Amino acid sequence: MTLHPTKTRIVEATSEGFDFLGYHFRGSNHWPRKKSIQKLKDSLRTATGRSSGRSLSYIIAVVNQCLRGWFAYFKHSVRWAFRPLDGWLRRRLRSILRKRNKHGGIANSGDNDRWPNTYFAKLGLFSLETARRVACQSLQR
């Protein structure tokens, strides 16, 4: 077996880190690499277009399939990797609701009051952060 000269390198994993199989490893921690997060966002972006005529429950069902599969692979990541993604997705869903309710302009803090996180939880939106918390609790038992 021969090593590829541009792909193979020796790194100091505690300070520099490296990417492997969709994860970024640094020290004893690992999380989804930026390219993996961008790929997830791209697939969610197609399902959450503001001009989509689909119902919110349909959009959430489609998004949940994508999120569950992505989480199944990346569930062993550090806990702080999931909160920004959950927030990003809820912001996109609020943008759909904002447009449907004929509110112009960009989102503001009133949107969080109008459609809080619990609103999306009641509609069945899969939360990466909550799923990781549940997965970690089941490991401790």
Chain centre distance of CA 124 = 16
- Helices 83-100 and 34-47 cross at an angle (nearest 10°) of 20
Q: Please tell me the pTM assigned to this model.
A: 0.84
Instruction: Say which amino acid occupies 91.
Output: R
CA atoms of 44 and 38, how far apart (whole Å):
10
Which residue intervals of 1-141 are DSSP H helices?
34-47, 56-74, 83-100, 109-114, 117-122, 128-140
* Local structure of residue 26 (DSSP, 8 states): E
Higher per-residue confidence, 4 vs 107: 4
Which pLDDT tens digit goes with each residue over 61-111? Answer: 999 999 999 999 999 888 899 999 999 999 999 999 998 888 766 667 788
CB-neighbour burial class of residue 102 (10 A; exposed 0-12, middle 13-18, buried 19+): exposed
Higher per-residue confidence, 78 vs 46: 46
Which pLDDT tens digit goes with each residue over 112-127? Answer: 889 999 999 999 999 9
Q: Are 64 and 126 in contact (CB under 8 A)?
A: yes
